[in-house]
Chain A
Amino acid sequence: MTFLHQYPKAAKVAKANFIVAFIALAIGGLFGFIQALHRTDVFRGFFNSGEYYTLLTGHGVLLALIFTTFFIAGLFVWGVTRSLDREPENMTFTWSWFWLMTIGLIMTAVTILGGLVPDSSIRAAVLYTFYPPLQAHPAFYIGLALVIVASWMAGADWFWSYNKWRKNHPDERIPILTFMALFTMMMWYVCTIGVAVEVVGLLIPWSLGWVTEIEPLLPRTLFWYFGHAVVYFWLLPAYYVWYAILPKLSGGRLFSDAMTRIVFVIFLLLSTPVGYHHQYADPGISVGFKFYAMATTMLLLLPSLMTLFTVVASMEHGARQRGGKGYLKWIGKLPWDSPAFVGCALAGIMFAAGGFSGMINASMNINLLIHNTIWVPGHFHLTVGTAVALTFMAISYWLIPQLTGRKLKFKTLALIQPYAWFLGMTLMSNAMHRAGLAGVPRRTAEPQYSGFEFEPIFGTMAEMDWQIAIGGTILTISLILFLWVITASWMGGEKSDRPVDDYIPEPLSGAEHTPKILDNMKLWFALAIILVLLAYSFPLWEMISDGIFEPGALPRPS
C-alpha cells in the first residue's frame, strides 16, 4: 500500500499539479539555456536581442511563479492528505482550483510567447516583476490574478480538511506535515494581498485603458510587498522536505518537532515586512523604513540558521545510526548513492552559500555595490534555482513512485542528475557573483558596452562568460536527465504495491515536548498582520495621498 492506493483521488490531483509543474520546468529551463548562450555572446543565432526579453520573461514566470506554485500545490496535497489521513473534502472544489490555476497559467503564457510572433500585438515582455509604465497585454495580468486566486482556493481546501480533522481529533497536535503546509499558506495569504491589490486594483484597469496614467512607485512597492515573501513561499516547501523527509532519507529521525514549528512561525511573522530591501536604491522610501526592513530581514537569518542546525543534526543522527563516527567522518556514512538524498543534501549546501550573498543583498548600504547586477541572479540561482528547484526534483524521485505506484527507472541517471546540477550551478553562479562585483548588470541581452570595459577584481570577463555558458549547458543536460527519468518511470516503471519506502519515523523530540502556543494560528496570523502594518502603512499612505495614480506616467509598449 502506498499513497496511490490509500488516497487515489488526492494522488490524481497531486499528479495533475506535477505534470503542469514539469512542463513549465522544461520550457522555462530551455529559455534559460538560450539566455546563458546569448548573454555571454557564445551563440546568438536563436533569437535577436529584442526577443531576449520575451524569453527572460518566460524563464522568470514559468520557473519562479508557475513551476513552483504547481509543484508546491502537489506537494501539499500529498502532505496534508497523508498526515490528516483524509482525501480532499470535495473533489469538485479541488479540481476547480486546479483548472482555474491552469487557465490563468495558459493566459499568461500565451501573452508572453506572443512576443516571439513577428508584429504580434499580444506581448508581455515585462519580465516577472512587470513594473509599469511598461505595459503588457491585459490577459497577462488577468492570468496572473487567476493563478493567485486559485492558489488561495487551494489553501482554503487544506484549511477545510484541517477543520474537519480537528472536529474528530479535538486534543491532538496538528500533524507536522499539515502544520508546515498551513503556516506556509498563511504567509502566502498575508503577502499576496499586495500583489492582488497591485494587479486587480491598478494594473488590470490600466492595461484595459480604463485609466491612462499610473504612478510607477506604488505598484513597484506593492510588488515587493509580495516579492520577497514569495521567495519564502518557494523556500518553505523545500524546508518542508528537509524537515519531514530528508532525515528519514539519511537513515535518522527529525531532531526536534518544536524547532520545526518555531521556524515556520517566525517565517509567517517576518516574511512580508522585509520588502523594501529590494528598494534600497529607490527614491521615495525613507531611510528609516529601509532600516526597519533590514532589521526584519536580518532577523530572518535566525530561522534559517535554526534550520541549518536542525536539518544537519537530523542528517548526522542518520549517519551515526548507520555507523558514522567522529566530528566530520560521519558525513561519509550518509547515503550518497540515493538520488533523493543527494539532491536534497547538495541543495542544502548551495543554500548555505546563497545565504551569504543574501546577507550582502539584505544590508542597506553594501547592497548598492551589487544592486541590479548579475550578482543578484547569481544569488537566487543558488537559492530558488538550486535549494528549491533541486530539492523539488530530488524529492520527485521519492514522491512520483508513491503517486503512480511505479518504481523509479534509470537510477544511475537519476543519481548523476543532482551531481550534474551542482557542478553546473557552481560554475555558473560563482561567475555571476564575480561579474556582478565588477558591475555587470542583470536583465540585459548584451552586457558588452562600446564606451567602457568592466574591470573585474577576480578573474577575467572572458573566463566568467565561459563559466556561465558551460555551467548553463551542464544545467540543461541535468534538467533533461531529470525529465527523462521521471517520464520513463511514470510511463513505464515496474508496478508495485510499495514502489518506495514511504514510511516517515517520528521525530527524536516529538510534539509532546512542543509548547502548545505554537499551534495557535490565529495569534500568529494577527501578529504577522501587525508587523506588516508597521512597515507599510505610512509609506503607502505617502504614495497614495496625492492621488492613487499621481504623479502619473503614460503607458509604454513592452
Chain B
Amino acid sequence: MLIINMPDETSHSTDANSNSTEPAKSWEQRNPEIEREITIDEYQPTGTLTLTLLYFAIVVLMWIFMYFVEFAGNAPSIID
C-alpha cells in the first residue's frame, strides 16, 4: 500500500511528519493512485443512480413474482 506521510485528521499538530513548510495539499493531491481530484460541485453520481434503479427494478419484479405466483399460488392458505 501507500507509504506516504499523511497527517491524521485528528492530530494535525502532533504528527511530526506533516511538513509545515509546504502549502496544505488535499489528500488527493498527495495520493499517487488518484488521477484527479473531483470536488462536490463537479461530481455527478450517475453510475450510482444507474445501479440503484437497476436494483429497484430487479427487486420489484422479483417481489411481484414471489407474491402473486409463489405465495398466492401456494394454496391452501389461511383464509380467516
Is A326 part of the binding interface, using a Cβ–Cβ cutoff of 8 Å?
yes
Is A554 part of the binding interface, using a Cβ–Cβ cutoff of 8 Å?
no
**Closest Cβ–Cβ distance, residue A286 to chain B (whole Å):** 15
Interchain CB contact under 8 A, A317 and B43: yes
A356 and B28 CA atoms in complex are apart in Å by 36
Interchain CB contact under 8 A, B47 and A509: no
A309 and B67 CA atoms in complex are apart in Å by 26
Is B40 part of the binding interface, using a Cβ–Cβ cutoff of 8 Å?
yes
Q: Name the B residues within 8 Å of A363 (CB-CB).
A: 67
Interchain CB contact under 8 A, B3 and A1: no
Q: Which residue of A lies closest to B52 (CB)?
A: A309
Assuming the A-B contacts A366-B66, A366-B67, A501-B1, are A359 and B59 also in contact, with contact meaning beta carbons closer than 8 angstroms in the complex?
A: yes
Interchain CB contact under 8 A, B66 and A360: yes
Residue interface mask B1-36, A partner, CB < 8 A = 1: 111111111110011110000000011100101111
Is A352 part of the binding interface, using a Cβ–Cβ cutoff of 8 Å?
yes
Partner of A1, one of B9, B17, B45, B59: B17
Interchain CB contact under 8 A, B71 and A366: yes
Interchain CB contact under 8 A, A316 and B9: no
Interchain CB contact under 8 A, A322 and B8: no
B39-80 CB contacts (< 8 Å) to partner A: 39-40, 43, 45-48, 50-52, 55, 58-59, 62-63, 66-67, 70-71, 74, 77-78
Is A83 part of the binding interface, using a Cβ–Cβ cutoff of 8 Å?
yes
Q: Name the A residues within 8 Å of B34 (CB-CB).
A: 251, 321-322
Interchain CB contact under 8 A, B35 and A322: yes
Interchain CB contact under 8 A, A503 and B70: no
Interchain CB contact under 8 A, A317 and B45: yes
Chain A interface, number of residues (Cβ within 8 angstroms): 52
Q: Name the B residues within 8 Å of A324 (CB-CB).
A: 47
Interchain CB contact under 8 A, B38 and A317: yes
A504 and B8 CA atoms in complex are apart in Å by 7
**Closest Cβ–Cβ distance, residue A280 to chain B (whole Å):** 11
Interchain CB contact under 8 A, A359 and B63: yes
Is A313 part of the binding interface, using a Cβ–Cβ cutoff of 8 Å?
yes
A316-358 CB contacts (< 8 Å) to partner B: 316-317, 319-324, 326-328, 330-331, 335, 338, 352, 355-356
A355 and B4 CA atoms in complex are apart in Å by 39
Assuming the A-B contacts A251-B34, A366-B66, A366-B71, are A1 and B27 also in contact, with contact meaning beta carbons closer than 8 angstroms in the complex?
A: no
Is A368 part of the binding interface, using a Cβ–Cβ cutoff of 8 Å?
yes
**Closest Cβ–Cβ distance, residue A250 to chain B (whole Å):** 11
Interchain CB contact under 8 A, A255 and B45: yes
Interchain CB contact under 8 A, A327 and B3: no
Interchain CB contact under 8 A, A352 and B11: no
**Closest Cβ–Cβ distance, residue A344 to chain B (whole Å):** 15
Is A519 part of the binding interface, using a Cβ–Cβ cutoff of 8 Å?
no
**Closest Cβ–Cβ distance, residue A452 to chain B (whole Å):** 16
Interchain CB contact under 8 A, B1 and A309: no
**Closest Cβ–Cβ distance, residue B58 to chain A (whole Å):** 8
Q: Name the B residues within 8 Å of A508 (CB-CB).
A: 39-40, 43
Q: Name the B residues within 8 Å of A175 (CB-CB).
A: 10
A73 and B8 CA atoms in complex are apart in Å by 22
A356 and B36 CA atoms in complex are apart in Å by 37
Interchain CB contact under 8 A, B45 and A505: no
Is A23 part of the binding interface, using a Cβ–Cβ cutoff of 8 Å?
no
**Closest Cβ–Cβ distance, residue B60 to chain A (whole Å):** 10
**Closest Cβ–Cβ distance, residue B61 to chain A (whole Å):** 11
Interchain CB contact under 8 A, B74 and A327: no
> Could you say which of B15, B31, B58 has the most chain A C-beta atoms within 10 Å of its C-beta?
B31
A481 and B43 CA atoms in complex are apart in Å by 39
Q: Which residue of A lies closest to B39 (CB)?
A: A508
Q: Name the B residues within 8 Å of A82 (CB-CB).
A: 8, 10
Interchain CB contact under 8 A, A1 and B8: yes
A312 and B47 CA atoms in complex are apart in Å by 9
**Closest Cβ–Cβ distance, residue B11 to chain A (whole Å):** 6
Q: Name the B residues within 8 Å of A253 (CB-CB).
A: 27
A309 and B55 CA atoms in complex are apart in Å by 11
Q: Name the A residues within 8 Å of B8 (CB-CB).
A: 1, 6, 82, 502-503
Given contacts A312-B48, A363-B67, 20 further A-B contacts (CB under 8 A): A1-B8, A6-B11, A251-B31, A317-B43, A320-B38, A321-B28, A322-B34, A323-B36, A327-B47, A331-B47, A359-B63, A369-B74, A500-B1, A501-B1, A501-B6, A502-B8, A503-B8, A503-B9, A505-B26, A506-B9
Task: Name A's B-contacting residues (CB within 8 A).
Answer: 1, 6, 82-85, 175, 251, 253, 255, 305, 308-309, 312-313, 316-317, 319-324, 326-328, 330-331, 335, 338, 352, 355-356, 359-360, 363, 365-366, 368-369, 437, 457, 498, 500-506, 508-509
| A and B contact pairs by CB, cutoff 8 A, 12 listed | A83-B10, A84-B10, A251-B31, A251-B33, A253-B27, A319-B47, A324-B47, A363-B67, A498-B3, A500-B1, A503-B6, A508-B40
The 9 closest A-B pairs by CB, nearest first: A313-B45, A503-B6, A505-B27, A323-B35, A313-B48, A508-B40, A312-B48, A366-B71, A501-B2
